[in-house]
Each structure stands twice: as structure tokens, then as C-alpha cells.
A and B are shown apart, each in its own frame.
Chain A
Amino acid sequence: MAKPVITVENLTLAYGDFLIQRDLNFTINRGDIFIIMGGSGCGKSTLLMHLIGLQRPAKGEIFYDGQNFWRSEPGDREKIMRRIGVLFQSGALLSSLTLADNVALPLGEFTDLSPTQIRRIVSYKLALVGLAGFGDYYPSELSGGMQKRAGLARAMALDPEILYFDEPSAGLDPISAKRLDDLIRSLQASLGATVVMVTHELPSIFAIGTNSIFLDSETKTAIAGGPPKQLLAESKDPKVIRFLTRDQENRPMPDAGARP
């Protein structure tokens, strides 16, 4: 039986009076690769910001393992946040630090490891994302794809149980995007982590998504949810179908969207 890690109840997102999404209800189970999808500007990234504790919801609750995130004491909230790792869209590495220092930053602050151990862990994490030997480079000296992978190494520094990705493959060429997908899937499988991913890259969605929620910008709420392949096969909603088929008339077999 799958165990829920994150439960969202009646969540409403808004900037002041400007409503982004309302009445969101969904559950993310342990081991899921959960996709948050929807058209541009529908509030996917905003939802992510709420889930990782950067923005307070206008209404509704977010539970981590049954613990109410926003109604917890700041100390408890910090403990929950220690369990998550986030890869931002641009990587968001600290530009004044080298890659190694970026990855070492949370390790030095939140663990009692010795500098030698930290150095070992850093080079291990960089090797995991295919950046072995790049520890002394500054983020600005790397390509966009490498920055993203370095961001992933930093997100994984503390071996988080839940990994968040904001459009991981945006701006990457198809091969790099595929490699990143494979990396995410193998990390998820071997670490047993839960992955929550904001994306609108169809190949990624079908290749690695095990569950999903579809946000709609017109009705300002979720209009579908479930495993992406099942959505494509069974959904009756024309908006969902158009999105998942790139607006093609004929509905292809679920596997056709996945990369070979």
C-alpha cells in the first residue's frame, strides 16, 4: 500500500487579490514521480513555491506525513524543510562560490562531518550527476545543462527524502534532457526518494511520471490527475487531451510520446 508523503487540501494560491489556483486537492505517495503539469502561466511554479515553503498559501493546508506544514512551529517547519531538496529552474547556484562550495554549503552547516568527509561527499555527489572534476569551477564558467546538474547535486547534498524539480529539462537539448530524466529516475529508484516535478515536456511526463495533476489556467483549478499514460488513454477532457497530444487530432498510443 502506497504511503502518502504530501497531502494537499483545498489549497488556494493567490498574490494579493489575484487568484492563481483554487481548491487544489491531491496526494503524493512515497516513491512517486509526481508531475505538476499545465499550460504556461497556469501557476505550476507558484504551486511549487507553496509546497517548498517559500510562499504562504492564501487558504488550505499542506501536510507532510500528516503534519500540517504551515501551522507548525517554525522549528518543526525547518525540520520538514531539511527533508526536501529543490532544483530551481536556473539551478540557482550561488554565483560567488565554486561548485564544490555550493554543494558543501548545506553539509557544512547542518551536519557534523569533518572537512575531509565533506570533501568526499561533495566529489561523490558531483560524480553522480556527471560533473566529477568540476568542483573548482564557478557556475558562470559552465553551460546551462551543467549548472542544472550541479544544482541537482546540491539539492541532493543532504540525501533528502523529497526532491522538487522546477522545469528540469527546460532549455536543454533533447539528449541532455533525456539523460537528466534517466538520472532522475535512477536516483529515485536507488535512493527511494519521492520526486515532485513541474514540467510541460511531454517526453519527460510520459517517460518518468507515475502520477500527476493537471492545472488549468481558465478555470483556475486542477481539472485532471492520475498516471500520465492513463490520463492520455482515458481522459475525456478536451483540454487535457490537446495538451498531452500536442494538439494533434488522433490520440497516439501512450508509449508513442515516450522517448525510445
Chain B
Amino acid sequence: MNSPSAAWRLEQRSDTDLALVLTGDWDAAHAGQIAPETVFEEIRRHAAIQRILLAAKDLGRWDSVLMTFLIGLIDRCRKEQLEVDTAELPEGIRTLLDLAYVVPERAGARREAIRTLWLAEIGKSAQRLWADAKGFTRFLGEAALAFAALAFGQARFRRVDLWLNIQECGPSAVPIVTLISLLVGLILAFVGAVQLALFGAQIYIADLVGRGMTREMGALMTAVIMSGRTGAAFAAQIGTMNVNLEISALRVMGFAPMEFLVLPRMLALILIMPVLCLYADLMGIIGGGLVTVSFFDVSLMQYLHRTQQAVHLADFLIGLSKCAVYGVLIAIAGCLRGMQCGRSASAVGDAATSAVVTSIVFIVVSDSIITLICNRLGI
């Protein structure tokens, strides 16, 4: 059907009365371009006008575009003290207009965009930071109390939850840890080999890979994987429980969320991280061995022997204790963000993101501190 598109015209009815006649299809497809302002400009040209009569002739299809146009125009006219008469409009449009005006806007309901000074912004950020720090400290304190309760055998949580979490953190993460640490070992070997081969000292690739993996990379890569895999999952799980009021329900039933939800998750990570780290070390050394043996003219026995000489127990212990620390930090970050989660779906997403960011920051900062301490102590 070829319908006429939206049009309007002004008709002078008397000295003080002006009629606005709408014709054609006033829907989103045809009338989206007509702004109430342009029509109002036109009305303003008739200086003596006191009353606007709204009328429709041969009006075709119409939808909310027409309604918003009319509301915009009526608001504008009333502001300029022009009387608006809707009597000539079709009944359906009149009813909808009445509905739009029947409940007056609640005073103060509209949120004004308040322009804040940059100084105030800085102050607010500082306040947020302070509140964040307080929340973090409180969380640490509560976690410590929960561990104390555990030590005295009074912590209330389901033992089976601990096993489920251990399974979720440990065995399920093995494939990804295998892949990543194998590749990291491979990369370490290649990077070192290029330089070492210049001196014909390819055999020392074993030192580089062995010590690099055990002291540093094994723990670090495991921690990064676990923060993305498990830390985010903790935040999302606890956050969703918060949204569903499950945490409130737990509280009412007499369970402390710190003991019931946070404790088993933290324990699981702390127990499982060193084990995963040990496995990652092994995979890294195998990865380095693959490169050394296949490309750099070193036999497997030579590589293994050299690795044995280069890597000491202290290296392993440093790596493992680092990883235990990372485990605690990831668990803290994940559970903290989950507990702080707001009450909406997007808040859960934010909590998961924030958990990963927080734990990676924690990991890198604590790594620097531990490395510095080890360096000072000469181990």
C-alpha cells in the first residue's frame, strides 16, 4: 500500500486560534524526522496566537512517534503560555495523552546530572579507596577468625564441599596447567638457547629451564591460570549466591558465610596449589628438554644430569612456598569480590573481572617482595 508519508499544516481559525492539522502516516517509518521544535518555530511566527487546536485529517497509521511528537509540542506550548486544545484529535490519541499526563512527575524523582568539581571527584575516589581498604581489612580479619574456628574444630561447613572444591581446583585444572607449563618450558629453552649456543654452552639450557621453572615460572604460571580459572569462579559463585539471597538465608540459619563458603574454597586452593606447582615444574622441565634434545645436540641423559646438578631443593621449596602464598591470595581476592558483589547480574560479572584483576596484582606484587627477600637472604 502506498500511503502518504507524515505531513502537517497550520490553519488560521480565528485571530487567536491556530489549528495544527496532521495527515498521513505518523509512524516510526515515516515521521521519525519531524521534530516538535520545528513545528513550534512555525507556530511562533503567528504572533497573536493564544490557542492551538490539535487536529487530524486522513491520519493513517500512527504509533509512539506521534505521541512523543504531540507530548513534546504540548509541553513546549504550555511553557510559552499557549493554550492547547486536543478535542479534535481521534479518541485513542486523546486517551493516551490523558494517560501520559494523569500522574504528574514526582517532584525530585528525576535524577539531575550533577556536575562535580574535579577536587570533589578526587575526594570521592579517596573515600571509595578508604572504604575498600576497610572492607578488605574486615574480610581478612573474618577469614582469620574462620581459620581459628577451624583450628579449634568449631568451623561450620560441609566437609564434602571441601572435597568438591579440591576436585574443582585440582584435577580439573591439570590439562590446562600441562599445556601452559610445557609451552613455557619450551619458550624458556628457546630464548636461552639462542644466546647460549653462541658460546657453545647449550648444556646450560638445563640450568636456565630448571631453575627458571622451579623458582619462578612454575609458580607464576600456575597462579595466573588458577586466578583466571578458579578465582573468577569463586567470585561468580559467591556473587550469584548473594544475588539469590542464599547468603542471607545461610546467615539466618546460623551459618557464617565466611566458614561455610569461604573457608572450604580457601583451604582447597591452599592445599592444591603447591601440588599443581610441582606438576607444572615437571612439565616445564620436560618442555625444555624436548627443545634441547631435538634442536641443540644435547642427549637426554646429559640434560637430565645437568638439571639434577643445577636445581637444588631450595629452588623447589621457594617455588612451592610462593605458590602456596599465591593460592591464599587468589582465594582471598575471589571470595572477597564475591562477598562484596552487588545484587544484579552485571554485578556478578564485575565481581569475576575484579577478582582476576585483583589476584593478578596481588600475585605480581607478592612475587616481587618474595624475590627481594630471597635475594637479600641469599637463597
Contact = CB atoms under 8 A, between A and B. Distances in A.
Given A88-B249, A92-B249, A109 B244 contact: no
A21 B216 CA distance: 57
B248 A54 contact: yes
Interface stretch (B60-68, B90-98, B250-258, B346-354): B250-258
A86 interface: yes
Nearest to B247: A92
B147 to A, nearest CB: 19
Given A86-B249, A109-B156, A92 B244 contact: yes
B252 A86 contact: yes
A22 interface: no
A106 B249 contact: no
Contact of A90 (B158, B237, B240, B244): B244
B246 interface: yes
B241 A95 contact: yes
A92 B254 contact: no
A184 interface: no
Nearest to A164: B252
Interface string A144-168: 0000000000100000000000000
A50 interface: no
A92 B252 CA distance: 11
Interface in A60-112: 78, 81-82, 84, 86, 88-90, 92-96, 105-106, 109-110
Contacts of B244: 90, 92, 95
B254 A78 contact: yes
B315 to A, nearest CB: 40
B245 interface: yes
Contact of B246 (A89, A94, A109): A94
A53 interface: yes
Given A90-B244, A92-B244, A92-B246, A109 B252 contact: no
A157 B246 CA distance: 16
Contacts of A95: 240-241, 244, 246
B115 to A, nearest CB: 22
B241 A81 contact: no
A255 to B, nearest CB: 33
Nearest to A81: B254
Question: B-side binding surface: helix, strand, loop or mixed?
Answer: helix
Interface of B: 156, 158, 237, 240-241, 244-246, 248-255
A154 B252 CA distance: 12
Nearest to A166: B245
B248 A109 contact: no
A110 B251 CA distance: 14
Contact of A105 (B237, B248, B253): B253
A95 B245 CA distance: 11
Contacts of A88: 245, 248-249
Contacts of A154: 249, 253
16 contacts: A52-B252, A53-B251, A53-B252, A54-B248, A81-B252, A81-B254, A86-B249, A88-B249, A90-B244, A92-B248, A93-B246, A93-B249, A94-B241, A105-B255, A106-B254, A110-B254
B242 to A, nearest CB: 11
Contacts of A89: 245
Most chain-B CB neighbours within 10 Å: which of A49, A78, A81, A94? A94
Nearest to B237: A96
Contacts of B245: 88-90, 92
Contacts of B156: 109
A260 B156 CA distance: 47
Contacts of B250: 94
Q: Determine which residue in A86, A92, A105 has the highest number of CB atoms from chain B within 10 A of its CB, and name it.
A: A92
Contacts of A78: 254
Contacts of B252: 52-54, 81, 84, 86
Interface string A192-206: 000000000000000
Contacts of A82: 254
Q: Which of B158, B251, B253, B254 has the most A CB atoms < 10 Å from its CB?
A: B253
A110 B241 CA distance: 22
A106 B253 contact: yes
A109 to B, nearest CB: 6
Nearest to A88: B245
Contact of B254 (A49, A54, A109): A109
Given A95-B244, A109-B255, 4 more contacts: A53-B251, A54-B252, A81-B254, A86-B249
A84 B249 CA distance: 12
Contacts of B158: 105
Which of B237, B244, B251, B252 has the largest number of chain A CB atoms within 10 A?
A: B252
Nearest to B240: A95
Listed residue (B237, B249, B251) with the most chain A CB atoms within 10 angstroms of its CB: B249
Contacts of B248: 49, 54, 88, 92
A105 B255 CA distance: 10
A95 B252 CA distance: 17
B253 A54 contact: no
A78 B244 CA distance: 23
B246 A54 contact: no
Nearest to A84: B252
A90 to B, nearest CB: 6
A242 to B, nearest CB: 15
A93 B247 CA distance: 10
